[in-house]
Amino acid sequence: MNPNIRTLLGPGVRFVWDLAIILSGGGMRCAYAIGVLMALIEVHGIMPGIISGLSGSLAPIIYFLLGRFKEMRDWPNQIKDKKFINFWRLLRVRIPIDVPYAVDRWMADAPELAEAIATSRTKLILPATVLPEKSGDPETRCWFRNEDFRNHARELMIALQSTSQSVRVGKRNCADACFTTSLTDLMAEVLREGANQVVVVDNSVSPVSRWTAPIMRVLARGEGPMGKLAWKFRHEEPIIPKSSTVHVLRRRQDLPVEHMMDNEPEHYWQSIMMGYRDCAELDLSHLK
C-alpha cells in the first residue's frame, strides 16, 4: 500500500485483495468517482486490491493510488485553469481539454508517480484502443497494468484520456478506450484477474449526454484517427449481472456537473460530495 495512505489515514485501512473498483468515464463527470474513492478510504477504511476505469476516471485513480487525497479535494480549484479547458479551441474544431498539459502538471506535482504506480499493491487494469498501422485494418483493444507505468507513464496518461489522437506507447498507437470498451468489458477483465467482490461506479448516463455525445463525435472527427470510432459510437447500457458480490453505484439524481467539459468549480465540488455520500451509504461491512 502506498505509504501516503497510511500517513494520512492511520492504521485503520484494510487492504481487500479480492475487491475490484470499476469506474466509468465521462470527462469532468468523473468528479463523482473522486467522491466515491475518498469515502471508500475515509468512511469504510478499505483499499481495493484491483482498480479499473475508463477515460476521465484515470486522474482520480492515479491520485487515489498515490494517496494524494488533498489534491483530489483541490481539483475544483485546478480546473479553472484556462490552459486545461479552453472553449476557444472549439473555433478550430478541437476538443477543449488539453490532456498533455494536464498530464505534465500532474507529473510535475508528483515526481514519484511512475514508480509509485508500478510498485502499488493495488492492481491497476486499464484498457486502451489500439489503432491500426494500416488504413482499413480494424482497431483492437489492449490492457495496461502497473508495471507499464514505469517506462511509459506520460505516454499512457495522455493516450488513455485522449479521444482525439493516438499516442505511441511502446510499439502500439494507443488512445482512449471510451469508444471501444464498456463497463461490461471491465467487469470481465477484473473477474479474470481474481476479483470476488466488485463495486461498479457508473456516472456515464445523463440527459445532457444526448447532445454532448454528437458534438464530441464531430470534434473527434476533425482531429484525427479516433474520428471514425467516435462517429459510429453509440452508448449502450452496461450489462451488469445481478449478484450479492456486485454493487452498482449510480448517482440517484443528475450530477451538478452538467456535461463532460463543465469546468465550473462549484458543480465539480457538489458532484464530488454526491459520490462521497452515495459510497458512504453502501454496506460493505461483509468485506474482509
Residue 258: is it exposed, middle or buried by C-beta count within 10 angstroms (0-12/13-18/19+)? middle
pTM of the model: 0.81
Q: What is the pLDDT of residue 2?
A: 44
Please, how many CA atoms are within 13 Å of residue 19, restricted to the half-sphere of its CB? 17
Please tell me the distance from the alpha carbon of residue 205 to that of residue 183, in angstroms, as a whole number.
Answer: 12
Q: How many CB atoms lie within 10 A of CB 33?
A: 31
What does the alpha-carbon distance between residue 127 and residue 129 come to, in Å, rounded to a whole number?
7
The torsion angle over the Cα atoms of residues 173, 190, 58 and 278, rounded to 10 degrees, is 150
Which three cell numbers mark 171? Answer: 510499439
Integer Rg of the chain from CA: 18
Dist CA 68 CA 114 (whole Å): 14
Do residues 4 and 38 make contact, with C-beta atoms less than 8 angstroms apart?
no
Rounded distance, CA 155 to CA 100, Å?
9
Per-residue pLDDT of the chain (288 residues; tens, 9 = 90+): 444 444 444 567 889 999 999 998 877 788 889 899 999 998 999 999 999 998 888 888 988 888 877 777 666 566 666 666 655 454 444 555 677 777 888 787 778 889 999 999 999 999 998 888 776 666 788 999 999 999 999 999 988 887 777 889 988 889 888 878 888 889 999 999 999 999 999 876 544 344 445 545 454 444 455 545 554 444 555 566 667 688 888 877 777 666 556 667 788 788 888 899 999 998 888 776
Instruction: Assess contact for 33 and 60: CB atoms under 8 A.
Output: yes
Residues with Cβ within 8 Å of residue 95, at least 6 apart in sequence: 89, 163, 164, 216, 219, 220, 223
